[in-house]
């Protein structure tokens, strides 16, 4: 599996309070974390992939470490990649995890 194990461990630590509401699944050639069955955040190689509610995704794309998630050459709706420089601190990682959880919560209502 092509993803950073250290980043996976950091994400698991942040998601621990959610208990069994969070599951893991191999997706996008990496590892994804699902909230109530809905993809929220994941790791592909060294990058974080995050589901973000529109129009917030456009604001996130203005940040230097953020780019569109585009496997096929076409950006995926409400999905971003964040390079490691964008989530070096635990507070930055928590910020992106919370964005992903908010997206997943909006889809489970």
The model's pLDDT over 21-65, given as tens digits with 9 standing for 90+, comes to 999 999 888 999 999 999 999 999 999 999 999 888 889 999 999
List 85's β-bridge partners, or say none: none
CA dihedral sign of residues 40, 79, 65, 27: positive
Enter the DSSP assignment of 91. H
The second-level CATH assignment, the architecture, of 5-107 is Alpha-Beta Complex (3.90)
Residue 17's Cβ-side half-sphere holds a number of Cα atoms within 13 Å equal to: 5
- Residue in the structure block whose two tokens are 């919560």: 105
CB 104 within 8 A of CB 40: yes
Tokens of 43: 């790791």
Cα radius of gyration rounded to whole Å, the chain: 13
Among 4-13, 15-24, 52-61, the range scoring the smallest mean pLDDT is 52-61
Tokens of 105: 């919560």
pLDDT confidence of residue 74: 85
Q: What is the pTM of this model?
A: 0.93
Which tens digit of pLDDT belongs to each residue from 81-101?
999 999 999 999 999 999 999
């Amino acid at each position: 599996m092509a993803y950073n194990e250290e980043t996976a461990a950091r994400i698991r630590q942040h998601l621990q309070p959610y208990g069994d509401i969070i599951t893991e699944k191999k997706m996008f050639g990496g590892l994804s974390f699902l909230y109530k069955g809905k993809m929220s955040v994941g790791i592909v190689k060294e990058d974080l992939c995050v589901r973000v509610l529109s129009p917030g995704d456009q604001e996130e794309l203005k940040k230097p470490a953020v780019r569109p998630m585009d496997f096929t050459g076409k950006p995926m709706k409400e999905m971003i990649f964040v390079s490691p420089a964008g989530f070096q601190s635990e507070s930055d990682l928590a910020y992106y995890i919370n964005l992903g959880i908010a997206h997943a919560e909006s889809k489970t209502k």
